Amino acid sequence: MENAFYITTPIYYVNAKPHLGHAYSTMVADSLVRLHQLMGETAFFVTGSDEHGDKIVQAAAKNQQPPQEFVDGISQCFQDLWPKLGIQNYRFARTTSPTHQKLVQDLLQKVYDAGDIYFGEFSGHYCYGCERFYTDKELENGLCPQHLTKPELITERNYFFKMSKYLPWIKEYITEHHDFIRPERYRSEALGMLEAGALDDLCISRPKSRLTWGIELPFDRNYVCYVWFDALLTYISALGGPEAQDFQRYWPGEHLVAKDILKPHAVFWPAMLKSMGLPLYKHLNVHGYWLVRDTKMSKSLGNIVDPLAMKEQFGNDAFRYYLFREMHFGSDASFNQEAMIKRINADLANDLGNLFSRVLAMNAKYFAATVPSPNAKLPQDTQIIDLGLSALDNFVQLFRHIKFAEALEALWQFVRALNKYVDSEAPWELYKQKELERLSTVMYVLLACMRKVAICLWPVMPHASCTLLQQLGQTASTNTPPVPDIRAEISCFGGLQAGIQIAKQSNLFPRIEVAKKEPREAKVAKDTKEAKDTKDTKDTKDTKEATLPNIDIETFKTADLRVGTIIEASKHPNADKILVLQIDFGPLGQKQILSGLANYYAPDALVGRQVCAILNLKPRKIRGLMSNGMVLTAESNNKVCLLMPEKPSSNGAHIA
């Protein structure tokens, strides 16, 4: 039988529209499916909507709708959202579907016939928010531990599942299988629940006199099924039931949940599966909360993050990257737009975007945008190749074991190393010195390594991965893995055919510029300029030579002065005196700066030279082209010369 991977998200409760937490869980499932597809496996996941219970009835009444009409609308919101977030390869299940309801009744009857369900009277503390009874031991200071509200004491006759019968076995299983629940902290928490002695048999029914919105018990029409016994079975009904071909092929799978529903998945669900005679799932993967201002998202607090709004503002791939990179799976993470912008600018614009931009531009200039043939490798080439193969292996192993932030950091160590390799090997110098054999090797190593990075990104940023691969002359689709098995990419270097045509440039991740409040020193500079402009001066050479107002050191510090290397120079198509310079500023990326140097320098003579520039000038358009800064020059006797560092400096170095 072929390798098959199956994972589920929570079956989302549809008493409100989806938010960031729902999006994150589903993106994680999507990315894991993509990774396993990238490893040559058949893979898909199940998500869906949990549509029964007290809270649904209350939400529907508040919305002045019948329950079915209400859940139809909210469920559709979830179904509409996933494709917009680039999520695919899933089945969407609904607990109100006839096939699911029939399977629930069939399995309930099976558990009942096995003697694991009994009828009895019970008095308990019922929390309507959790839709479950709590024992005295489970309450915290008399309050529901989840909602911190006092439950209602209810006495009624109900049906109970003999969960206590299976608790010792569950404890033993979790103890012996260390990666059954991961990360480890949640395995310890589940064992703590079992050792505390607070768990008992599980009430699995609600009388119709109190609640009619649910699946009717097959052995008593006066009762409906408890919402958790209903929803958990979706993981099986989505596969067609225990006798279905898909169940035989894909089960046991894995589950993905947030930490607030650990107990039903770590205790209720294993007991139910054991009672039904079905194999346990492989892993329960538990993540933390996304917080806003260190507080869990809540509609009442008005701090809900809309995933679609984030996608529209930052782009889907950048949004996905931030979520995976920022949250260490299992821990809580704070969602912050400012932090997202910093992460996008640092990792995507400066590191990855800068790498593709500068390498493709140089390759276009040196090899007419074709992949050169490599020659003999030097030790530094072998070193960067070995680092890359190791990074790929680390990425795959960490990612498949739900360590997403660590996996991306392993990959980014390679990306940063490639940028350093560009600086150390200095292709512009090799070109200038006509060392073309060495140049072709350096460029091939870079391009082939960039291809491997782009392949790894497919699970996290599918559209960006495809774009980068297409820029490297590869066939790529968001629906199909870019390679048959990524493990083959880990075992050897290469994979990029010499002689193929590739893109001349790349600008996939431009920096996000943030409007800032005008600092005090900038205001001083502005006031100084305004004072100067109000003077009655003439636009003559004498005026230019006139003494300017004094400024203080703080005003001078507002100028962002940097060292950069010119990697490309050409004449402005619409201005004879202006050169268009592409300048590499290292971690700040590549910038286009226009300068009136055409009468003093030939374009080719400037490539490879280091220059000094000011970068925080307001961008301006000159004859149709944008200039994002100004190179510093000295003018004397009607001649202009560039100001350059006395000794070579790292690109992006501050000028102080």
Reply yes or no on whether 299 is catalytic.
yes
Angle between helices 404-425 and 316-326 (to 10 degrees): 110
How confident is the model at residue 490, as a pLDDT? 94
541 is catalytic: no
Place of tokens 């090997």: 425
Q: Is the pLDDT score of 537 beyond 50?
A: no
Rounded to an integer, the average pLDDT of 137-164 is: 88
* Best-predicted range by mean pLDDT (80-94, 130-144, 536-550): 80-94
Architecture per CATH, domain 359-491, reads as Orthogonal Bundle (1.10)
Banded pLDDT at 515 (limits 50, 70, 90): low
234-249 residue pLDDT tens: 999 999 999 999 999 9
pTM of the predicted protein model: 0.78
The active-site residue, picked from 22, 52, 100, 311, is 22
pLDDT higher than 90, residue 344: yes
Residue 258 has pLDDT above 60, yes or no: yes
Is 127 in the active site? yes
**Catalytic residue (choose from 130, 449, 456, 466):** 130
- String of b and e for 81-94 (b: at least 16 CB within 10 Å)? bbeebbbeebeebb
Report pLDDT for 542. Answer: 43
Q: What's the pLDDT score for residue 299?
A: 66
Segment 543-568 shows an average pLDDT of 72
> Prior bond to 183 cis, omega within 30?
yes
CA distance 605 to 563: 18
Is residue 450 within 8 A of residue 474, CB to CB? The reply is no
* Pairing assessment for the beta strands 333-334 and 290-292 based on DSSP bridges: parallel
Q: Compute the distance between CA of residue 173 and CA of residue 189 in angstroms, rounded to an integer.
A: 14
Q: What is the pLDDT of residue 260?
A: 94
What is the C-alpha end-to-end distance of the chain, expressed in Å?
66
Active site residue 296: yes
Q: Hey, CA dihedral for 516, 518, 521, 527, is it positive or negative?
A: positive
Give the integer Cα–Cα distance in Å for 379 and 401. 33
Put the strands of the sheet holding 561-571 in their side by side order: 590-595, 579-584, 561-571, 610-614, 630-631
Of 36, 52, 55, 144, which one is the catalytic site residue?
144
pLDDT of residue 603: 77
Across 120-134, 141-155, 436-450, 540-554, least confident range: 540-554
Active-site residue, from 150, 299, 504, 529: 299
CATH number of 558-656: 2.40.50.140
**Average pLDDT of 185-192?**
97
What does the alpha-carbon distance between residue 647 and residue 531 come to, in Å, rounded to a whole number?
A: 38
Reported confidence tier of residue 539, pLDDT bands at 50, 70, 90: very low
Q: Is 259 exposed, middle or buried (0-12, 13-18, 19+ CB in 10 A)?
A: middle
Looking at residue 534, its pLDDT comes to 43
Identified catalytic residue from 62, 137, 147, 577: 147
Amino acid at 80: D
State mean pLDDT over 82-89.
95
Among this protein's residues, is 144 annotated catalytic?
Answer: yes
* For the chain, percent of residues with pLDDT exceeding 90: 71
285 or 550, which is more confident? Answer: 285
Look up residue 318 and give its amino acid.
Answer: A
Predicted local distance difference test score (pLDDT) of residue 587: 72
Task: Say yes or no: do domains 359-491 and 558-656 share a fold.
Answer: no
Amino acid at residue number 507: N
Statement: residue 337 has pLDDT above 70: yes
Average pLDDT, the chain: 90
Digit-coded pLDDT (tens) for 451-478: 999 999 999 999 999 999 999 999 999 9
**Nearby residues of 164 by Cβ (< 8 Å), 6 or more positions away:** 199, 200, 201
pLDDT, tens only, 22-70 = 999 999 999 999 999 999 999 999 999 999 998 899 999 999 999 999 9
Residue 1 has pLDDT above 50, yes or no: no
More confident residue, 519 or 196: 196
Say which of 52, 127, 287, 591 is annotated catalytic: 127
Domain regions of the chain by residue span = 359-491, 520-548, 558-656
% of the chain surpassing 70 pLDDT: 92
Asked whether the predicted pLDDT for residue 338 surpasses 50, the reply is: yes
Phi, psi of 250, deg, nearest 5: -105, -25
| Average pLDDT, integer, range 217-221 | 97
pLDDT at 543: 41
Q: Give 203's strand partners.
A: 160
| Predicted pLDDT of residue 12 | 96
What average pLDDT score do residues 483-491 get? Answer: 95
| pLDDT band, very low/low/confident/very high, at 601 (cuts 50, 70, 90) | confident
Q: What angle do CA 536, 538, 543 make, to 5 degrees?
A: 105
For 583-599, what is each residue's pLDDT tens digit?
A: 988 778 788 999 988 88
Please indicate whether residue 523 is annotated as part of the active site.
no
Q: Which of 62, 296, 420, 557 is catalytic?
A: 296
pLDDT, one tens digit per residue, over 377-414 is 999 999 999 999 999 999 999 999 999 999 999 999 99
